[in-house]
Structure formats: structure tokens, C-alpha cells
Structure 1
Amino acid sequence: MTKEECFYLGKIVGKFSFKGEVLIKLDTDEPETYTEMESVFIDYNENLVPFFIDSSSLHKSSLLRVKFEDIETEEDAEDLIGAELYLPLTFLPQLEDDKFYFHEIIGFEVIDAGHGNIGTIVSINDSTAQALFEIKKGDKEILVPMNDEFIQKVDKPNRKIYLKTPEGLIDLYLG
């Protein structure tokens, strides 16, 4: 299993008990979705290593408290702090046609109502207050906020996203 075949689930942020339990900060709006997992992949020494789960429960609503098989002591748990967790992409729930996961739309063509084809999505920048489509057209980069009001249609079968951007936005980059 490689990282390309997986999605980032979260990070081990602390120990919980002297029995080797850990607390995981999940990268999701719905942490309750992940309380019944049997295993996860942990990025350990640059490898994705499968870890099997004995038990898990929500802790203070946003953290997942987990007891892994074979992690029996505080020292074992300490060794995992800071490690990132991954799950195979096949574990992601199917979304409605107009919804998408960020990794799904990389490579999609972007068609703007006013400018036609404005390029291809090369990545999503979600490190800002509002996520941005990073679109490449030739040697130019176009940044468009991922705003529901701008997205007219997501055509997954044809790998296209149709946008209606505010007047002047695209001209900032192509003008």
C-alpha cells in the first residue's frame, strides 16, 4: 500500500492511558464515521505499516481514543506520537454527483462561463482560510476560491468542472 492509494485520516497527538492507548486528531467533519475501524495504516519510519485496532471511541467529540493491538505500554504509545494515519481510498464513502473529494478532481478541466476552458486543476490549496483551486493554463497559474456559488456543475465522467467566476477574477491571471 502506498500513500497515493490512500487518504490522510489524521495524526496521533498524544497518549491516553498507561495501557498504551493513544489520541488521534482526525482530519474530518464526521469523526463518528471512523469509530468502527478494524485497522489503519500508520506512517512509521517512512513506511505505511498496518496497525490493528482493539477498541476505539470518541474522546471529547473531536478526538478518537484508540487501543491498538500489541501496543501495551505508555512507552509503546509514546513511540507513535506524531505519526500520521492513512486509509485506502476505497474506504471513502461515495459522494453525490455534485460533491467531490479534493484528490478526485486533480486533472479535471475547468470551464468558466465567461472564459471557456481556463486550464487544468493541478492541486487544491487548503492551507488558506478558504480552499483554492490551483489551475494551470500554459505557464500561468490561476487561483479560484472553492466557493459553492462559483461551482455550476461537476462532471465526473468527463473530468470537467464548470465554474461561473466573478467578473474580473480570471482576467487578473490571464489579462
Structure 2
Amino acid sequence: MEWFNVGRIVNTHGIHGEVRVLSTTDFEEERFAVGNKLAAFKKGDKKPTWITITSMRRHKNFILLMFEGMNNINLVEPFKEGMLKITKDQMTDDLLEENEYFFHEIIGCTVISEEGETIGIVHDILQTGANDVWVVKDSKKEYYIPYIEEIVKDIDVENKKIVIHVMEGLL
């Protein structure tokens, strides 16, 4: 089964079973909604525990969650430093706007110039606030490609291929 991280449980919060989560998703309201089911992986475990969210609130830079049937610190303590994940089936395209993609759809794509020259493969995505920047690597170099209309001309996630316009100074 393919898993996607949506948050990391960094600590417990209080004695009533709340956990402090550092979000790794752009869709916090949907992923951490009351009633939503997530897979909780304890640190080092390969097998998840399915949990249902019963409470969600923000506190500073964290999201505080409570899980069904886990209403004290002793029950949630084992999840400390664990990961919250979803399956590919839980990812829905209706969360995305036009010309938006999930990171896993972009990472691994081969980047090609309009002239047909292979630039490299997308290895990472940096979120800068203004626009995402793709980290593209070939065997020798690393390039930073901004995800903007002037540069990215075509994205084919089915064939894992991206065509870009190479502006002067880009590479």
C-alpha cells in the first residue's frame, strides 16, 4: 500500500489525550477534520493503527488532535514522534485547483526543455511562499526551476514528463 504523510506527532499536550501535530499537508482543514480517519504509525512501526479524529484545534504552530477512544495521555504517549498518513485512495483531486498537482505527482518527473533536451529529474519541491521551486537533478548538477507559467509549459503526470522553457540564466 502506498502511504502519504500528512503530519508528525511531535508530543502529547496535556493529560486528556491530545497530541501536538506538525502538519505536512496543504489541506489541513480536510485532513484533520473531526470524523476523518488517518493511519497513525508509531515511531519505527511499519503497521498503522487506524484512528478517528474527535477534536481538532490550532495552538501556536501546531494542530492539536484527539482520537476516538484515546482520552488520556497514557493511550497517546506511544504515538509520540510517530507519523500520521493517508492512503492514495484518500487523496481526492477535488482539493486541487486547475494546474495544481500533489507533490508525489511531480517528484520523479523527468524535466525536458522545449527543444527536447533532458534537464534532469525532480527530486524535491521547495515552498517559497510566492511559488514552488522544483529541485531538478541530473548526474552532475542541481537546478532550481520555479513553477511559474513563463517557464513550465506542459506537465504530463501520467508519463512523468514536464516540458519547460529554458530562459537565459535558468540553468
TM-score by length of 2: 0.76
Partners of 1:31 and 1:63 within 8 A in 2: no
Residue 31 (structure 1) aligns with: 28
Q: What is the CA distance between 1:54 and its match in structure 2?
A: 5.0
Equivalent-residue separation in structure 2 for 1:93 and 1:62 (angstroms): 26
Q: What is the CA distance between 1:167 and its match in structure 2?
A: 0.7
Q: Matches of residues 102-113 of structure 1 in structure 2 within 5 Å?
A: 102-113=103-114
Letter in 1 for 2:144: V
Residue 66 (structure 2) aligns with: 67
Change (3 A) 1:89 1:61: farther
Partners of 1:15 and 1:23 within 8 A in 2: yes
Residue 134 (structure 1) aligns with: 136
Report Cα offsets for 1:115-143 as digits up to 9, x if no partner: 5322442511538886333232xx33341
Residue 80 (structure 1) aligns with: 79
Change (3 A) 1:43 1:153: farther
Residue 164 (structure 1) aligns with: 165
Equivalent-residue separation in structure 2 for 1:159 and 1:96 (angstroms): 20
Partners of 2:112 and 2:120 within 8 A in 1: no
SS of 2:47's equivalent in the other structure is strand
Unaligned runs of 5+ in 2: none
Equivalent-residue separation in structure 1 for 2:48 and 2:102 (angstroms): 24
Partners of 2:111 and 2:136 within 8 A in 1: no
SS of 1:169's equivalent in the other structure is coil
Moved over 4 A (4+): 127-130
Query: Does 126-135 or 156-165 show the bigger shift?
Result: 126-135
Change (3 A) 1:20 1:107: closer
Partners of 2:36 and 2:53 within 8 A in 1: no
Report Cα offsets for 1:51-97 as digits up to 9, x if no partner: 32250223248643322244342233333222121111222221456
Equivalent-residue separation in structure 1 for 2:53 and 2:164 (angstroms): 46
Q: Matches of residues 88-107 of structure 1 in structure 2 within 5 Å?
A: 88-94=87-93, 95=96, 98-107=99-108
Change (3 A) 1:20 1:98: same
Aligned length: 164
TM-score by length of 1: 0.74
Change (3 A) 1:32 1:121: same
Unaligned runs of 5+ in 1: 171-175
Partners of 1:22 and 1:66 within 8 A in 2: yes
Partners of 1:151 and 1:161 within 8 A in 2: yes
